[in-house]
Structure 1
Amino acid sequence: MTHSGSQPRALAARVLDAVLHRGRSLKAELAAVLPQLDDPRDRALVEAICFAVLRQPVRYQAALDAWIPKPLPRRDSELKALLFAGFAQLDALQLAPHAAVAATVEAARALGRKHQAGLVNALLRRAQREGLPTVDASAHWPQWLRERIARDWPQDESAVLAASAEEPPMWLRVNRRVLSRDAYRTRLDDAGITAHADDSLPDALRLDSAMAVAALPMFGDGAVSVQDASAQLVADALAPASGARVLDACIAPGGKAAHLLERDASLRITGVDIDAKRLDRVRTNLARQHLEHDVVLRAADAADLPSWWDGVPFDAVLLDAPCSATGIVRRQPDVLLHRRPADLDALTTTQARLIDALWRTLRPGGVLLYATCSILKEENEAQVDAFLARTPDARAEPLDDRFGRVSGAGRQRLPGERGGDGFFYARLRKH
């Protein structure tokens, strides 16, 4: 790699500076930066660097603490982010050392830090020679959140924290309306891409490492989507009858609704989301699969029924509730930087408000699936138990062990189990 590789490194440093030091969202920062790069390989590099750093920032900070006599001042936060990006290239990403160091040093100059390029070179050369310090994988978890994990999953705490620091596999969902999973796997084989099937996930294929979606055969034709294994199980847990009227109450980004329609085109789906901008992304995703005319979308607070509901009851309701996202830290590592204890109080209040309101939209005999990508029992098991206690016409229905371990009236998957994200499911029938 020549010095032309400096631009993605410089952009990665700016993203990391915003996320680590200014409380910005990784997803939002990447969305703003990636369009500046024409080459998909450069975009993939920026993403890979950012995720690698944010999965173990404490380790890279430990290297600076050991190798620099005085902490870098706040005005050098961008330089610190660039050093972290350099460490990640040599460590987690295992890039060719000479090229990674040269391009990162050049990135320092591109960021207007020519006077500090020598420091960058020296520290990265030392990292290349000595390696990075070993640090507990859980060290960057906030103490209050570690305590809740230990309380809820005392036998699994170490495994949860370790799995959350790892790069997840890339799960694909094959659109059975276009071709079978076996047929798509053959297409992948022909393209030199190795994929693995799981008998418990009829539409899923697993790739061992991420790749650009543009390189996936027939992606632009809607034949395949990227969706984690645990999220794909939602369609099995809800299992609406053919022709059912279905509500997806927090629809963005639309993958679960699309999965339902890929399985059964006769479903009549209404999707609601409180953020109108997120609905634009839903429309884009549905259009790629030629499903944009099969879902009625409403921008509204799903719990404010008069603002969107016509009073006609639904046969099935999917409530993929807003949550702490503690089950997907490996995919959204900045969750650990931004989450605060007060957030849990607000989230559990919102979850209870949503489930109570949406229960009113469900016909007698209908099913509501309560799901989250959280692993905290207060958002999952305790939330559902409290709902059942105050709702006489609600009954929990059992789910099998594909959905994880028994957790109250529902099932819980923990991060990394069978390669999937942490996820909770509770299937509730209205009597």
Structure 2
Amino acid sequence: MTTPLRERALASRDATAAIAALDTTSKRRLLHRMADELAASATHVLDANERDMDAAKANGTSAAMLDRLVLDAPRIAKIVVAIRDVATLPDPVGVVTRRETRPNDLVVERVRIPLGVIAMIYEARPNVTADAAALCLMAGNAVILRGGSDALHSNTAIAEALQRALMAEGLPEATITLIDDTRRETMVELLQLTDVVDLAIPRGGEGLIRFVTEHARVPVIKHYKGVCHLYVDRAADPSMALRLLVDGKTSRPGVCNALETLLVHRDAAAVFLPTAIARLRELGVEIRGDDATRALVPDVASATDDDYAAEFLDLVIAVRVVDDLEAAIAHIRRYGSDHTEVIATQDEAAADRFVHALRSAVVMVNASSRFSDGGELGLGSEIGISTTRLHAYGPMGAEALTVERFVVRGTGQVRHP
């Protein structure tokens, strides 16, 4: 028996033919119309978000999750701009990434094509509804959106605006499908539609991502958590390092590219740490440190191994004094999550060693961890950050929603004459 979810998923699969057939100009026009529709629906979206926020507050939702959920006029304007930014990106579909002529005169090309149907599973952040839809459509894919119950009203209002743009352009509404049944059983059913869904991308807390990974039969792009580090080298500029620390930890502590651990070279600790800890405390940050940190600032709470492995998503940071660069690298290899690492240093050799020794998806030299974001890295927007070494690694934009295939052009060649 065909379930309602399967029927909707099949409609999404059927819609891929229409979106994949669009040329670049048509896709750009569609995205700008989506942005226009969302901007015109701002009041309706804000009203819907207010309903979600009221329910979340009544349920005792944490401040970090409320920050992810809330929308206001500037945030909606930013979502609109992000859609328009995606419209300006190079179209990845049809790009020939490599061409060579074989000795038998076969011309072998590698060409980017859409993946097909993307299942986007996410919590809180209503902006993901628009970001994911825009990126999937730019890459010629249909998208099935399954947001959390906490943002259902917001997601619905945004999706309806985007679908109006689809219909105005003569495209199937099912090109963007929002699943409003937020039960876990429905999510599991979606994740097992191996003949329909080409890729699942979960975006949210570690619990959600592990649940998706454990129950999916379709390929999954994932990152479990963002345990991001700042290492302050002995050759760091202290004022620069402090700016990186404050921005990385306090600008938005509830996001995955926020700093969670501060590592400081022993030679820099006596000068840097007392000032840095005092500044963090002024901004409301709780400090948990090792014995060397507590020797410099005695009233710091003692850090545990669990603290160094934690994604706090809050105004909390773990601090450790390390003997040298190699000790910092060893710490990150042990406790890191392959998300984003930062070094503050004026020593190019130390920076190069840090970059080459770590395999994290993003490595920053003298730049805030908060730049680990598709929009900031030139992708226009991002559908997520992959710490899984599959076809994509790091922030994923439109190109990461395509795959290379081989196109072979001949003049009648056969392998066995």
Same-fold call, TM > 0.5?
no
Instruction: Return the TM-score normalized by structure 2.
Output: 0.29
Instruction: Return the TM-score normalized by structure 1.
Output: 0.29
Q: Which has the higher contact order (CA 8 A, sep 6+)?
A: 2
